[in-house]
Amino acid sequence: MDKKIIDLGTINLQISSDALDAIIIKSTAPITIKKDTLEFNVKSFKTKKDANVEDLLKQLPGVEIDEEGNIKVNGKEVNKILVNGKPFFGDDPTITTRNLTKDIVEKIQVLDTKTKDQAFTGATADGENKTVNLVIKEENNKGDFGRLAAGKGTDKHYEFAGMYNHFDNDQRVSVLAGGNDINSPGFSFGEIRKMFGGGNSVRFNGNGSFSIDGRSFGGGQGITESQNYGANYADEYGEGKDIAANYFYSGSSSENRSKRDRENILSDSRYFASSNSSSFSDNESHSANVEFDVKVDSTLLINFEPSFSYTKSKNYYSEDESSTNDSNALINESTSNSNVENIGKNFSSDLDITKKFGSNGAFIKFSFDNDIRTRELDDYLVSKTNIYGDSPEEINRNQYTEGENKVNNFRSNITYRLPLVGKTFFLEFKYGYTRNKQQDRRSTFDKEDPEAEYYTVFNNELSTDFEYINEMSTPALELEFKNEKISARFETTYVFRTLENNDILRPTLSLKRNFEAIEFRSRFRYKFSDKASMRMGYNLDNNPPQLSQLQPFLNVSNPLNTVIGNPNLVPQNNHRVYASYNTFDFQKGSGFYGYLSANFDNNKVVSKTIIDEDLVRETTYDNVNGSYNVNGYLSVNKKVKVDSLRTVTFYLGVGPSIRKSINFNNGVKYSSTNNSASPNVGLRFNWKDVLEFNPNYRMSFTRNTFDLEAFENQEFVSHSLNLNTATFLPKGFEWRNDMRYSYNPNIADGFQKSAWFWNATLAYSMLKDKGTLTLKAYDLLNQNTNARRIATANYIEDSQSTVLQQYFMLSFSWKFNSLGKAGETGGGSRYYRH
């Protein structure tokens, strides 16, 4: 059937300008570079719908986040997280990254970390650290959000945590609480992340330490039960006036048992020491911090930050130790039991006043810092020391020590910046004055009779009453040049320092020393492009001996090791040269980073110990020359996009170092050279919403050589393999694994040389993704160990201590959010699908 064609001719349409506006298509680039600020548009990076900020950061090119939540951008560490340009809940970045959700953030900005006065005046930062600023969507600046979680496990293990936040534009109120008995510190909230289906935050380092959420907790040893509470308030009261305040409480109880075997190397012989110890401690602390920022006008800024803290601790420690010679004959042995209680009170305040002049960057800045600390000590000690041999001796002590330590530090600085050429060349005049005063008193009492109830006999030999003063004046000049590609700074300082020690109990031992020195700092940065830059610099620092190293007081608190200072010590000069180069294509996610640093020490202060036939040590201090340390790091990253859903990132790194040390061994001076390297290789495979796979292998090699024939050269090699996986299963399930294998063949017999450490988490999302049920398995193979070996020129030590062992835990978490659209939609579907 033929179709009839009808010709309508030309039809003219009239469209108003308003209609045209309605059909304009706007888009935002995923990555924008604005001078020194790198800006990511959050909408351009897809994650699961309920992702937190840490999940989002992991998707950004050039950003690396380890298991503890430490962040690096293009090889530079991130040391500050801001929300809309302001701090959020103190200085712990993981509170921000693991508890704020991605859906409230509009942009992520990365820039060089600056102090408040640098940001106000436009002064250049050193660029060694980065700041991440989260720009919150305007509609999400009002409402409530937070999370609650609790878990119960085998062997009576438990954990609970919660956080509530209220945003009302500039006003923010946050409250958090938590507690557990699984070695998790308080405010990093790493365990909450696991409850919400995240990865395991406990990392076994293989060297006797645990790193949990970026912090070393409990010294890496023992079992700790903790409770933590905190609150944060921030607001803007009037134009240019900001206030932020927070309060934290932390309480913990820890216990640990350890075993150590040490082979001590002398220039003409060797001896062996073994010890077993146990410790129990209870600690609690309160801290409150306030920040006031007052921008009086466009040229005057005042910052005031007072801080208060109170700590109380009770510690019980016992140890049995024995020493034998190379013929296995017992030379000495000792037992000790101590019960110590400490109470500390601290107050500090920082006041900065900055005034700008003109428009070319001139300013004057005044800084006043004060730090007042007191510590009270009650120490009960019972010990017995037996020294065998030709002159046998038995030393018994049953003592009480009452101590008090007071510290009053004051620092003031004035800086005047004068533009020499426009906004590119500056001269700064600086002057600083510092006075640190410390009073340290310890009164030790013995019992008149072993059966007596009270300690009444003053022990002058073991008591101290010192007053230390460290006073310093530092005039300085600095030149700075900067433009779009070059930034260079050169600063020279002349140091006038007075060290004074007044011995109240022994006035003849009082001393006063004056030191003068020149210090120098320089830094140069060249920016080849937005993707590549280099840095280099040279620093000369002068550090005086510590007063405890100078004072000729004979410390006999340890019968097997008496210590006496050397009043003839001179200051140490440290020369440091460094250079780095990095290039990174943020669009492609690939780059290179290289770093080299060399330190040379003149007149370095080292300990000098003489050991007699009974293995009793007498230690003093001396200056030595010839020490140096050269270290570097190289890393290469390459990201390959398989398709729109799958990417693979390869990375290779190595950190070589050479260190030469000058020391004394039983009075004989010697040098040792330590060569080490730790190559590592790995990859990250990401299949969006399906699988994450991240294996990493590291080998650590160490070689020690000595210029004394009595010392044998040493070589140590250890291996570690890490595997982190995340599998996103249907029906809202998520399965994560954190596996580590460590092998150290150099560990002595009787200590565990290898172990698999495997944590696993299975999470199920429910209640429209507001609730998560999680089953966690810690140390699934029950092989956790912290056996380690430490090797120096003077000794080789193997040790092992209490560790947290296998447990299983079932947890439930619930989150709420009434910010902007999230409060209206209830969270929506779980993932963005492609």
* From 233-242, 305-314, 491-500, 788-797, the region with the lowest mean pLDDT: 788-797
Average pLDDT over the chain reads 83
Range of 220-234, 538-552, 792-806 with top mean pLDDT: 538-552
Output the CA–CA distances (angstroms, integers) from residue 216 to 162, 184, 212, 213, 230, in the order listed. 22, 10, 6, 8, 20
pLDDT in tens, 777-802: 999 988 887 777 777 767 888 888 88
> What phi, psi does 185 have (nearest 5°)?
-70, 175
Q: In sequence order, what DSSP letters do the residues of 296-347 get, joined into one string?
A: EETTEEEEEEEEEEEEEEEEEEEEEEEEEETT--EEEEEEEEEEEEEEEEEE
Residue 5 has what pLDDT?
56
Q: Give the C-alpha separation, 615 to 331, whole Å.
A: 7
> What phi, psi does 454 have (nearest 5°)?
-115, 160
591 contacts: CB under 8 Å, gap ≥ 6: 62, 74, 531, 582, 583, 584, 585, 636, 637
pLDDT in tens, 102-119: 777 888 888 888 888 888
351 contacts: CB under 8 Å, gap ≥ 6: 302, 303, 304, 305, 366, 367, 368, 369
Which of 544-547's residues contact partners 24+ apart within 8 Å by CB, and which partners? 544/470, 544/497, 544/499, 544/513, 544/515, 544/571, 544/572, 545/569, 545/570, 545/571, 545/572, 545/605, 545/621, 546/605, 547/466, 547/468, 547/470, 547/499, 547/501
Q: Give the C-alpha separation, 563 to 551, whole Å.
A: 10
- Strand 561-564 relative to strand 554-558, pairing: antiparallel
Find the length of the chain: 834
User: Among 800, 806, 808, 807, which Cα is nearest to 222's?
Assistant: 800
Residue 75 has what pLDDT?
65
- Asked if the model's pLDDT at residue 574 lies above 60, the reply is yes
Residue 208 has what pLDDT?
31
Other CB atoms within 10 A of residue 359 CB: 9
Output the CA–CA distances (angstroms, integers) from residue 70 to 63, 231, 376, 455, in the order listed. 10, 23, 35, 50
SS (H, E, C) 543-587: ECCCHHHHCCCEEEEECCEEEECCCCCCCEEEEEEEEEEEEEECC
Structure tokens at 344: 């500390």
Residue for token pair 């080789």: 796
Question: Looking at residues 591-612, what average pLDDT do you find?
Answer: 92
Structure tokens at 154: 């085998």
Question: Looking at residues 114-132, what average pLDDT do you find?
Answer: 79
pLDDT in tens, 688-743: 888 989 899 999 999 989 888 777 788 888 899 999 898 988 888 989 898 999 88
* From 522-531, 578-587, 785-794, the region with the lowest mean pLDDT: 785-794
DSSP label at residue 620: E
Q: Are 572 and 629 within 8 A, CB to CB?
A: no
pLDDT in tens, 405-414: 999 999 999 9
**pLDDT band at 78, cuts 50/70/90?**
confident
Q: Give the C-alpha separation, 681 to 638, whole Å.
A: 12
Q: In sequence order, what DSSP letters do the residues of 210-259 get, joined into one string?
A: EEETTEE-GGG-SEEEEEEEEEEEEEE-STTEEEEEEEEEEEEEEEEEEE
Gyration radius from the chain CA atoms: 31
Q: Give the C-alpha separation, 11 to 14, whole Å.
A: 10
Q: Give the C-alpha separation, 737 to 34, whole Å.
A: 39
Q: Are 250 and 224 within 8 A, CB to CB?
A: no
User: Among 221, 225, 196, 197, which Cα is nearest to 210's?
Assistant: 221
Q: Give the C-alpha separation, 765 to 450, whole Å.
A: 66
SS (H, E, C) 473-539: EEEEEEEEEECCCEEEEEEEEEEEEEEEEEECCCHHHCEEEEEEEEEEEEEEEEECCCCEEEEEEEE
Residue 764 has what pLDDT?
92
pLDDT in tens, 10-34: 555 454 444 434 444 444 566 676 6
Residue 216 has what pLDDT?
31
* From 274-283, 384-393, 474-483, the region with the lowest mean pLDDT: 384-393
- Asked if the model's pLDDT at residue 237 lies above 80, the reply is yes
User: Among 148, 251, 249, which Cα is nearest to 192's?
Assistant: 148
pLDDT in tens, 241-252: 999 898 989 899
Residue 55 has what pLDDT?
79
**pLDDT band at 81, cuts 50/70/90?**
confident
Residue 121: strand, helix, or coil: helix
Residue 134 has what pLDDT?
87
Q: Are 820 and 139 within 8 A, CB to CB?
A: yes
- Strand 223-236 relative to strand 171-180, pairing: antiparallel
Residue 48 has what pLDDT?
58
Q: Give the C-alpha separation, 461 to 531, whole Å.
A: 64
Structure tokens at 448: 């008149």
Helix H or strand E segment including 702: strand 691-706
pLDDT in tens, 425-449: 999 999 999 999 999 999 999 998 8
Please indicate whether residue 427 or residue 62 has the higher confidence score (pLDDT): 427
27 contacts: CB under 8 Å, gap ≥ 6: none
Let me know the angle formed at the C-alpha of 39 by 34 and 44, rounded to the nearest 5 degrees.
Answer: 135
Structure tokens at 148: 């609650």
- Asked if the model's pLDDT at residue 483 lies above 60, the reply is yes
215 contacts: CB under 8 Å, gap ≥ 6: 68, 185, 188
The pTM of the full predicted model, rounded to 2 decimals, is: 0.81
Residue 180 has what pLDDT?
92
User: Among 138, 119, 191, 122, which Cα is nearest to 160's?
Assistant: 191
Q: Are 652 and 643 within 8 A, CB to CB?
A: no
User: Among 292, 300, 295, which Cα is nearest to 239's?
Assistant: 295
Output the CA–CA distances (angstroms, integers) from residue 462 to 389, 537, 641, in the order listed. 26, 47, 69
**pLDDT band at 193, cuts 50/70/90?**
very low
CA dihedral 181, 185, 187, 189 (to 10 degrees): -70
Q: Give the C-alpha separation, 593 to 525, whole Å.
A: 15
Q: Give the C-alpha separation, 127 to 134, whole Å.
A: 19
Percentage, residues of the chain above pLDDT 70: 87
Q: In sequence order, what DSSP letters do the residues of 126-185 get, joined into one string?
A: --SEEEEEEEE-GGGSEEEEEEEEEEEEGGG-EEEEEEEEEEETTEEEEEEEEEESSS--
- Strand 76-83 relative to strand 129-136, pairing: parallel
Single-letter residue type at 798: D
Residue for token pair 């009053």: 408
- In this structure, is the dihedral angle defined by the CA atoms of residues 382, 387, 388 and 390, taken in order, positive or negative? negative
> What phi, psi does 53 have (nearest 5°)?
-65, -35
